[in-house]
């Protein structure tokens, strides 16, 4: 009898896992309640709980009090071995990228950090673009990008919720991108970012500062991006010599 119960629990666990991995249960979807699963499989609640507990331990699902059980978002690997746009990152992982544009401004007096990174002259302006970056319609990061107006005039004409800035740089303005400098640190975001990303007040984020240059080393853009810590990790390969 005990072996039969063990086999039944593992069968349910494997079937639910297969539905998640195949995409039948998509990331962020709420799965059936314990009672619904109990009725579907004709087993005890304890058997269902064992199967769900196994999935939770393997990071496939997350239980949210009073809301239900949801398919957990897999963390995206931001590889630091090459310059890659958010759009390219998402597409390479089979995730549909999009953005929610909060504002597009032409700024005449940016912060000192922006002036230093972009080497702006006294009279030079830059665009400040604030967006929520999404994967499969779910918030992934809060981004503030600064681009010199002289390099990308009328930038606002080409930007919408599906645009990739990298693609605009290369295909509209025919700019040849070079190296990028990246700095990463853990951070506790302000209220506006918390609300925009739908995260708790005590949820950490990964804050990235990135300055990307053209091939002739002219600064092309400077970006501050706040990645949801539960959805991202950063990786690279370090040579011995």
Q: Residues 130-151: pLDDT tens digits?
A: 999 988 788 889 999 999 999 9
pLDDT higher than 70, residue 70: yes
**Segment 207-213 mean pLDDT:** 93
What is the tens place of the pLDDT at every residue in 93-128?
777 888 999 999 999 999 999 999 999 998 899 999
Quick one: how far is CA 72 from the chain centroid? Answer: 14
Q: Please tell me the distance from the alpha carbon of residue 40 to that of residue 51, in angstroms, as a whole number.
A: 14
Fold of 2-71: Arc Repressor Mutant, subunit A (1.10.10)
Strand partners, 219: 213
Task: Look up the pTM and report it.
Answer: 0.69
Beta-carbon contacts of residue 23 (< 8 Å; ≥ 6 apart): none
pLDDT at site 53: 87
pLDDT at site 81: 64
pLDDT at site 30: 85
Domain boundaries, the chain: 2-71, 76-235
Strand partners, 206: 186, 227
Question: Quick one: CATH architecture of 76-235?
Answer: 3-Layer(aba) Sandwich (3.40)
241: three-class secondary structure by DSSP: coil
pLDDT at site 238: 66
pLDDT higher than 70, residue 214: yes
Phi then psi dihedrals of residue 91, to 5 deg: -65, -35
pLDDT at site 117: 96
pLDDT at site 5: 59
């Amino acid at each position: 009898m005990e072996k039969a119960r063990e086999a039944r629990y593992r069968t349910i666990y494997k079937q639910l896992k297969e539905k998640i991995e195949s995409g039948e249960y998509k990331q962020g979807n709420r799965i059936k309640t314990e009672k619904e699963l109990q009725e579907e499989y004709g087993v005890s609640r304890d058997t269902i709980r064992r199967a769900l507990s196994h999935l939770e331990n393997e990071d496939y699902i997350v239980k949210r009090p009073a809301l239900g059980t949801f398919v957990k978002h897999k963390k995206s690997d931001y590889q630091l071995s090459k310059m890659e746009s958010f759009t390219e990152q998402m597409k390479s992982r089979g995730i549909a990228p999009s953005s929610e544009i909060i504002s597009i401004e032409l700024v005449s007096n940016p912060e000192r950090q922006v002036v230093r990174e972009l080497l702006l002259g006294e009279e030079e302006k830059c665009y400040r673009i604030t967006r929520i970056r999404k994967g499969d319609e779910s918030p992934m990061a809060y981004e503030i990008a600064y681009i010199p107006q002289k390099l990308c005039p009328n930038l606002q004409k080409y930007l919408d919720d599906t645009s990739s800035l990298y693609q605009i740089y290369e295909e509209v303005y025919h700019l040849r991108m070079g190296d990028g400098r990246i700095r990463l640190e853990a951070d506790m975001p302000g209220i506006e970012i918390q609300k925009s990303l739908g995260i708790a007040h005590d949820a950490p984020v990964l804050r990235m500062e990135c300055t990307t240059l053209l091939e002739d080393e002219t600064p092309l853009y400077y970006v501050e991006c706040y990645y949801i810590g539960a959805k991202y990790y950063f990786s690279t390969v370090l040579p011995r010599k």
